[in-house]
């Protein structure tokens, strides 16, 4: 066999391998998951920015409604606080569209007065113990991550929270908090990804069938998905150590007989370690 024949066969072998890679469904899913993960990371930033814009306006409304003159936050009637919190979520555009699963008012020492939830688990709670970064905040929009589940043992969900001061003149008289649970937010991101794909199919820019898709959010304490995400899928994502991976990292994985592509993207708007993970399997 001469040298030319050997080189030709090597080139043909590489061509076959490249073609196989391009047609491997799992690898195609991974490339599509990469695009979606980066789109969802941008959406995270937009969602946090809604709170960044809306909460200071909401705090001004709370101050006017509840804290005139010498009124003290710890003397407020909880039912009045809940009513005021629900009102600002309806009249402040950014808070109306925000993905918050809770909004609460607390004293300047961080003791919860009332949330807007029907079942209030924040009243009387030392919220700065759950979110210690808020205790050192310097009077501007501040975000952090904590959990209300630690007292129960294993962390089953994390909470992203934002805080702004409620001021009357130059005096801070209370603090306004809002945010979301990771599981609820993962459900929101997954729904958004599914809606985007449906819109593309309707417009004719995407003609393939809808894939099996799961979106998870990971941080230092675990990986969290919507309530409908199978545990085996979350365990598979957790085993990837997603918070250690760079944006754009992709791969493939078989989960219970189905081939998935996966991709990660950092979501620094929620926290330096927070990572969005997309698991996708094209049919």
The predicted-structure confidence for 229-253, as pLDDT tens digits, reads as follows 999 999 999 999 999 999 999 999 9
Q: How confident is the model at residue 7 (pLDDT cuts 50, 70, 90)?
A: very low
Backbone angles phi, psi at 60, to 5 degrees: -65, -40
Banded pLDDT at 156 (limits 50, 70, 90): confident
- Residue 208's pLDDT is 81
Distance, in Å, from the CA atom of 76 to the CA atom of 94, rounded to the nearest integer, reads 26
Contact 47, 82 (CB under 8 A): no
- Determine the pLDDT at residue 155: 60
Which range is least confidently modeled, 28-37, 106-115, 139-148, 212-221?
139-148
Nearest to 279 by CA among 96, 83, 36, 100: 36
Predicted pLDDT at 237: 97
Alpha carbon separation from 88 to 63, 103, 165 (Å, rounded): 11, 10, 15
Tokens 């047609």, located at residue = 23
Average pLDDT in the 190-212 region? Answer: 91
d(CA 149, CA 151): 6
**Cα dihedral 207, 208, 209, 214 sign:** negative
191-218: average pLDDT: 93
pLDDT digits (tens, 9 = 90+) for 22-73: 458 999 999 999 999 999 999 999 999 999 999 999 999 999 999 998 899 9
Q: Which residue has the higher pLDDT, 156 or 170?
A: 170
The mean pLDDT of the chain is: 90
Boundaries of every domain in the chain: 25-44+184-281, 48-181
Which residues 6+ apart lie within 8 Å of 144 measured at CB? 131, 132, 133, 134, 160, 161, 163, 271
Does residue 153 register a pLDDT over 90? no
Q: So what's the pLDDT on residue 14?
A: 45
Return the pLDDT at 21: 44
What does the pLDDT read at residue 22? 44
For residue 3, the model assigns a pLDDT of 52
Closest-CA residue to 241 (of 226, 227, 221): 221
Are domains 25-44+184-281 and 48-181 of this chain identical in fold?
yes
Per-residue pLDDT, averaged over 118-144, amounts to: 91
Question: Percent of the chain at pLDDT above 90?
Answer: 80
pLDDT attached to residue 41: 98
Q: Determine the average pLDDT of the residues in 128-151.
A: 87
Q: 25-44+184-281 has which CATH code?
A: 3.30.450
Question: Regarding the domain delimited by 48-181, which CATH topology (the fold level of the hierarchy) does it fall under?
Answer: Beta-Lactamase (3.30.450)
Contacts of 268 by beta carbon, 8 Å cutoff, 6+ apart: 274
Q: Which stretch of 1-15, 89-103, 200-214 has the lowest confidence by average pLDDT?
A: 1-15
How confident is the model over 143-162, as a mean pLDDT?
79
| pLDDT reported for residue 9 | 57
Calculate mean pLDDT across residues 158-166. 97
């Amino acid at each position: 066999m001469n040298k030319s024949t050997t080189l030709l066969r090597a080139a043909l072998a590489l061509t076959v391998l490249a073609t196989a890679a391009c047609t491997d469904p799992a690898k195609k899913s991974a490339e599509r998951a990469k695009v979606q993960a980066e789109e969802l990371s941008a959406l995270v930033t937009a969602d946090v920015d809604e709170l960044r814009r809306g909460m200071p306006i909401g705090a001004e409304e709370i101050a006017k409604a509840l804290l005139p003159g010498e009124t003290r936050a710890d003397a407020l009637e909880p039912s009045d606080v809940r009513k005021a919190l629900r009102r600002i979520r309806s009249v402040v555009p950014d808070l109306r569209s925000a993905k918050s699963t809770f909004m609460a008012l607390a004293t300047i020492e961080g003791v919860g007065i009332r949330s807007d939830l029907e079942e209030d688990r924040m009243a009387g709670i030392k919220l700065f113990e759950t979110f210690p970064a808020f205790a050192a905040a310097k009077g501007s929009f501040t975000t952090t991550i904590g959990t209300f589940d630690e007292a129960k043992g294993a962390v089953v969900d994390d909470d992203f929270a934002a805080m702004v001061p409620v001021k009357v003149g130059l005096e801070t008289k209370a603090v306004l908090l809002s945010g979301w649970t990771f599981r609820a937010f993962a459900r929101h991101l997954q729904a958004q990804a599914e809606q985007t794909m449906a819109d593309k199919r309707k417009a004719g820019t995407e003609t393939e069938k809808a894939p099996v898709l799961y979106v998870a959010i990971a941080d230092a304490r675990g990986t969290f998905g919507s309530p409908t995400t199978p545990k085996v899928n979350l365990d598979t994502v957790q085993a990837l150590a997603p918070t250690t991976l760079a944006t754009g990292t992709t791969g493939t994985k078989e989960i219970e007989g189905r081939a998935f592509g996966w991709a990660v993207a950092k979501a620094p708007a929620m926290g330096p370690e927070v990572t969005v993970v997309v698991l996708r399997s094209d049919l």
